[in-house]
């Protein structure tokens, strides 16, 4: 049975009409009402027994695509499954509703699901502001084979490509046989070519060799020529923090300190932890051997990690690995008596 549109403003007549419908027709009307943003009708239909999750959450998914904020809030209050929330997030991105994306992220939708699928739609549909939200919430800028920036440029979307670059995407990554430098030239994107030149002159272009020439103490010290940032900041931003941890392991008695990770060069500047999260390399700072015997300090570092990046870590596995290292016998600890 098809659902008939009711234009009559008489609420009682509409309720009488709804009462006469079959359960299936009522549920179909519910989906239509959600899509159209008719909050009052959605509330009444739920009172009449309609399942808010009818057809795998189609009502929430369509409301998200249309940006129906009130209906989205109502449906989220009925605790949809993770799958429904994740699918609704993708549709909210497709529809371009910042408010819908914010509501779904706050309700636990996963920006990293299906290889950070929501970011792909940001790249193809010009959703720079939404891309920023998703990346701040933990989406992976390196997803989809590191192609996202190239995809945005292929769609002539300089704004979204710039967001990806700022969050650690590599201009050297290829999409359809062209990297970001080549896409900029191919599409005549002079504005983004300027952005890339600034990037080359900045911290992110520093290669691993730069950090290998420095001692651990030199890396810890502010570098005046780099606006007071430490080598830890620069290595994190450049995706070369593994060089720092190699030096810590190679230096007798050295440790990765909590202060190293929390340090900011200005009150508003990002910490080393935040920079590592932005480039998707947070795991490097939480490798178990760096925290052997210092689990509490490691947990403090985790607690100070921006919430949007914590999805990069498996905390339970890290804690377990640190515990195992802590109980491992030291050389000579157990000896047989002569």
Q: Tell me the pLDDT of the chain (338 aa) as tens digits.
A: 344 454 545 677 888 888 889 999 999 999 999 999 999 999 999 999 999 999 999 999 999 999 999 999 999 999 999 999 999 999 999 999 999 999 999 999 999 999 999 999 999 999 999 999 999 999 999 999 999 999 999 999 999 999 999 888 888 889 998 989 899 989 999 999 888 888 877 776 777 888 999 999 999 998 877 777 899 998 988 888 999 999 999 999 999 999 999 998 777 778 999 889 877 889 999 999 999 999 999 999 999 998 888 988 999 999 999 999 877 655 554 455 55
How far, in Å, CA of 75 to CA of 77, rounded?
5
Q: Which residue has the tokens 């000579």?
A: 332
Question: What pLDDT is recorded for position 242?
Answer: 94
In degrees rounded to 5, what are phi and psi of residue 286? -120, 25
Sequence ranges of the domains in the chain: 9-82, 111-201, 208-327
Q: Taking the CB of residue 234, how many other CB atoms lie within 10 A of it?
A: 24
The predicted pLDDT at position 4 comes to 46
| CATH 3.40.50.880 fits domain 111-201 | no
The pair of three-digit structure tokens given for residue 100, joined into one six-digit string: 């819908």
- Cα of 262 vs its chain's centroid, Å: 20
Q: Would you tell me how many other CB atoms lie within 10 Å of the CB of residue 337?
A: 3
What pLDDT, on a 0 to 100 scale, did the predictor assign at position 198? 81
Per-residue pLDDT at 332: 53
On whether the CB atoms of residues 326 and 292 are closer than 8 A, the answer is yes
- Give dist(CA 119, CA 280) in Å, integer: 15
Structure tokens at 65: 């695509």
Q: Is the dihedral of CA 161, 167, 169, 175 positive or negative?
A: negative
């Amino acid at each position: 049975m098809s659902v008939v549109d009711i234009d009559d403003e008489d609420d009682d007549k509409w309720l009488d009409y709804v009462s006469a419908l079959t359960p299936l027709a009522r549920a179909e009307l519910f989906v239509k009402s959600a899509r159209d943003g008719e909050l009052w009708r959605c509330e009444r239909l739920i009172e009449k027994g309609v399942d808010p999750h009818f057809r795998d959450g189609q009502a929430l998914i369509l409301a998200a695509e249309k940006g129906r904020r009130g209906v989205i809030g109502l449906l989220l209050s009925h605790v949809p499954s993770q799958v429904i929330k994740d699918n609704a997030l993708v549709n909210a991105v497709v529809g371009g509703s910042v408010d819908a994306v914010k509501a779904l992220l706050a309700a636990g939708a996963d920006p990293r699901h299906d290889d950070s699928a929501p970011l792909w739609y940001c790249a193809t549909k010009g959703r720079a502001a939404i891309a920023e939200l998703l990346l701040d919430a933990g989406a992976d800028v390196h997803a989809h084979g590191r192609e996202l920036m190239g995809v945005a440029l292929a769609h002539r979307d300089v704004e979204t490509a710039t967001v990806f670059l700022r969050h650690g995407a590599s201009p050297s990554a290829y999409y359809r046989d062209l990297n970001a430098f080549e896409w900029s030239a191919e599409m005549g994107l002079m504005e983004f070519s300027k952005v890339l030149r600034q990037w080359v002159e900045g911290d992110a272009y520093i290669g691993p060799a730069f950090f290998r020439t420095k001692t651990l103490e030199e890396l810890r010290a502010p570098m005046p020529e780099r606006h007071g940032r430490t080598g830890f900041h620069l290595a994190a931003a450049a995706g070369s923090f593994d060089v720092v941890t190699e030096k810590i392991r190679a230096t007798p008695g050295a440790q990765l300190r909590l202060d190293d990770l929390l340090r900011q060069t200005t009150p508003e500047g990002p910490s080393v932890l935040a920079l590592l999260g932005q480039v998707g390399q947070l795991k490097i700072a939480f490798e178990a051997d760096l925290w052997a015997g210092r689990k509490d300090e490691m947990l403090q570092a985790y607690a100070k990690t921006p919430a949007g990046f914590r999805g990069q870590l498996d905390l339970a596995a890290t804690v377990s690995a640190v515990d195992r290292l802590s109980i491992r016998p030291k050389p000579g600890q157990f000896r047989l008596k002569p």
